[in-house]
Structure 1
Amino acid sequence: MKTIKTSLLAAAVVSAFAMPAMASDINVKISGRAHLSLDHLDNGVDSGLNVSSNSSRLRFAASTEVAEGLTAVMQLEQNIRFDEGNGSFATRDSFLGLRGDFGLVRVGFFDTPLKVVRGRTDMFGDRVGDARNITNVPTGAAGANFDNRFRNGVHYRSPAMNGFTFDLQYTPHNNTGSTVENERESYSTSLTYNANGLYAAAAYESYENAAGDNPNALRLGVSYDVSKEFKVAALYQAARNLENGNRNVWGVGASYKIEDYTLRGQFYQAGKNDLADSGANMIAVGVDRNFGRALTMYAVYGLTSNDDAAAFTIASGGRDTRLTPIAGENSAGFSLGMIYNF
């Protein structure tokens, strides 16, 4: 793995140095998303009405063609809490890189190739019913979140070849500060096919957590545009070296457009690990009202059914206001939301 990683990065760097310099304009773009929802959340014992800002963001991006066939790229993205009036600087995809015929090389803090697969197949990303409620270990268990961004990431993406793209990310130290022992070393890689309405990807990730373990996961994801109106998706995850043993997860989803409306639904199941009665099922259904790309209004209902020893939620992934689950209790949520892209 290290030999492949070094060779790919070296080839990209050599290509960059060999290109003649040239002057070019700097292209700067400001964009983002405001996503808020009004949610009635129920953990099986108590319930309440909440307002949540869900992965709302402000993004600054810049690019400059610095040589023929070579472009410098930069992005700074931060979370904005529209619900509580605060936010965190550079907590989302933020990086500096080079793009050319060799592909893309970047360094920074951004989604891993494994995380991207879930995002491409999730029908309720950042909403009640998000697939991350099931793909990640329940609240209170240690070291098995497979939808994180790695700190100090170094990433290579190949150019698309007949629809195929290869991604490799390496993190020498997935923590703050410096290191002399490369603790918390992490890898994430994927092979993706994307053409003619078909997206298919296989990804693998392994990282060293604070306990020194190496949780790892294999993900297989697919989505297909059956028609302009109808889309289907599926995800399978096999996670290993978890706190309480291995766990498999699978899910399926679909969406159907009717003029300005989109009907969507998905079902996910988490198998049990070494603990008895530790599995869960999640179902979510919803409808969107689309006003072009800029504005979407939606309604979602979701339910997570937990076994006696399981504590999965219905409202955690991608949301700033989260529902803490109770082991053995069902978790439910009804959400009315609005997404504005600018």
Structure 2
Amino acid sequence: MKLRNFALSSIALACMATTGTVAAEDEWVDVYGKIMLTLDKVDEDNGDDQWEVNSNASRFGVKGKGAAGNLEAFYQLEWEVDIADESKEKNIKSRNQFVGVRGGFGEILGGRSDTPTKKLQKKIDLFGDLQGDIKHTFNAEVRASNIVQYSTPKMGGFKAKLALLPGEDTGSNDGLADATSIALEYKTGGLNLGLSMDSDVEGENVDTTRIMAQYKMDAWQFGLMYQDTDNNGTDGDGIMASVKYSSGDNAFKLQVIDSDAWEAGVSSKIKYTSQTSIGWDHKLGKKTTFFTYLTLSEEGANEDEDSIFGIGLVQKF
């Protein structure tokens, strides 16, 4: 009931503010969201063919910042909402929710947040929240609870993040840094390079290394990511490449993934060994986009072939 009242209050606040943002002299609050609904034709190799209406991690939230002495405090509270299938208590799920402070030293936050390794994907994944999302072929896509994270200020194009995940008395793991996620980025012009390492984030003795490169040149965006995971001596790796071309209100996208990360046996979300996705986005307005896409997938050791074709609408607020 409290969550429902809070959500209703947030919506009311958004209606009161014509821009969705409330600003005072030292404070800034934004009520925001994204609805991404698709009509999908799913064809599976086992013969299951069906039409589906999917919500694709539609979400709403509140974020803001304000003066805290000589520092700046910031916060975010975000929830996923399923506008297509689920109702009642299953309709709302928590996403990133944290509070922190920032200043000349960098920033510190605590709560629930995507790990530095997950954040390192940047916008290389062109089909996030859809069937072509890399979470279906790669592990390390973790939104961690009980996280404490420090981010350095930018130093000559470099920036680093260190996240500590306490075990909180789970067996023998009860220290401050039972699991760690570290990322280093370098950005100059249209080039963005990154390296990250997760240790024990997805289980004891599970180590993941991720390397990414992104380059933007005029209307083109290129992305490349490589990842390797070692789970107690069992190895799995994968590579992803993507390209996006924008022209006016249109964007054309291609993404290819090949991965055997499932062999490491880390994440239950991994379903596919390879995926090829193509898509077209067309902006109908500043916050409204129509899109269509096709994803072809090979599943598991048997390489069963699945496909999904969809049309959708994104509405942001």
Shorter-normalised TM range: 0.7 to 0.9
Contact 2:181 2:201 in 1 (8 A): no
The superposition leaves residues 92-149 of structure 1 with CA deviations (integer Å, 9 ceiling, x where unpaired) of 110010011111100000100000122431111112312222113xxxxxxxxx1111
Matching of residue 284 in structure 1 with residue 280 in structure 2: no
Matching of residue 127 in structure 1 with residue 102 in structure 2: no
Q: How many Å separate the matches in 2 of 1:89 and 1:73? A: 23
Q: How many Å separate the matches in 1 of 2:184 and 2:279? A: 31
Q: How many Å separate the matches in 2 of 1:213 and 1:73? A: 32
1:247-286 matches, cutoff 5 A = 247-271=236-260, 273=263, 280-286=273-279
1:192-203 matches, cutoff 5 A = 192-203=185-196
Q: How many Å separate the matches in 1 of 2:264 and 2:32? A: 45
Q: How many Å separate the matches in 1 of 2:201 and 2:74? A: 30
Q: 1:334 aligns with which of 281, 290, 309?
A: 309
Contact 1:118 1:131 in 2 (8 A): no
More contact order relative to length (CA 8 Å, sep ≥ 6): 1
Letter in 1 for 2:85: E
2:204 counterpart residue number: 213
The superposition leaves residues 272-330 of structure 1 with CA deviations (integer Å, 9 ceiling, x where unpaired) of 8489xx98321011111113441111111011124xx52xxxxxxxxxxxxxxxx5411
The superposition leaves residues 248-291 of structure 1 with CA deviations (integer Å, 9 ceiling, x where unpaired) of 1001110111221110001111148489xx98321011111113
Would the alpha carbon gap of residues 222 and 214 (structure 1) be closer, same or farther in structure 2, given more than 3 Å must change? same
Q: 2:121 aligns with which of 118, 121, 141?
A: 118
Would the alpha carbon gap of residues 208 and 32 (structure 1) be closer, same or farther in structure 2, given more than 3 Å must change? closer
Letter in 2 for 1:150: A
Would the alpha carbon gap of residues 88 and 115 (structure 1) be closer, same or farther in structure 2, given more than 3 Å must change? farther
Determine which structure has the larger strand proportion and give its number: 2
1:37-56 matches, cutoff 5 A = 37-45=38-46, 46-56=48-58
Q: TM-score, normalised by structure 1?
A: 0.76
2:217 counterpart residue number: 226
Matching of residue 303 in structure 1 with residue 305 in structure 2: no
2:174 counterpart residue number: 182
The superposition leaves residues 42-80 of structure 1 with CA deviations (integer Å, 9 ceiling, x where unpaired) of 221112111111121111112111223x01111111111
Structure 2 gaps, min length 5:
1-23, 266-270
Letter in 2 for 1:215: V
2:79 counterpart residue number: 78
Q: How many Å separate the matches in 2 of 1:179 and 1:75? A: 31
Q: How many Å separate the matches in 1 of 2:30 and 2:249? A: 28
Would the alpha carbon gap of residues 197 and 287 (structure 1) be closer, same or farther in structure 2, given more than 3 Å must change? same
1:54-203 matches, cutoff 5 A = 54-68=56-70, 70-84=71-85, 86=87, 91-136=94-139, 146-173=140-167, 181-182=173-174, 185-203=178-196
1:26 counterpart residue number: 27
Would the alpha carbon gap of residues 180 and 27 (structure 1) be closer, same or farther in structure 2, given more than 3 Å must change? farther
Would the alpha carbon gap of residues 267 and 237 (structure 1) be closer, same or farther in structure 2, given more than 3 Å must change? same
Q: How many Å separate the matches in 2 of 1:84 and 1:59? A: 20
Q: 1:186 Cα deviation (Å)?
A: 1.6
Q: How many Å separate the matches in 2 of 1:281 and 1:79? A: 27
Q: TM-score, normalised by structure 2?
A: 0.82
Q: How many Å separate the matches in 2 of 1:180 and 1:24? A: 48
1:237 counterpart residue number: 227
Residue identity over aligned pairs, in percent, reads 26
Letter in 2 for 1:286: G
1:310-321 matches, cutoff 5 A = 310=301
Q: How many Å separate the matches in 2 of 1:81 and 1:262? A: 26
Q: How many Å separate the matches in 1 of 2:25 and 2:250? A: 43
Letter in 2 for 1:126: D
Letter in 2 for 1:55: A
Letter in 2 for 1:123: L
Letter in 1 for 2:244: S
Q: Which runs of 4+ in 1 moved over 4 A?
A: 87-90, 177-181, 272-275
Would the alpha carbon gap of residues 71 and 274 (structure 1) be closer, same or farther in structure 2, given more than 3 Å must change? closer
The superposition leaves residues 200-237 of structure 1 with CA deviations (integer Å, 9 ceiling, x where unpaired) of 1101112255xx6322210001111121x111101000
Contact 2:257 2:276 in 1 (8 A): yes
Would the alpha carbon gap of residues 187 and 274 (structure 1) be closer, same or farther in structure 2, given more than 3 Å must change? closer
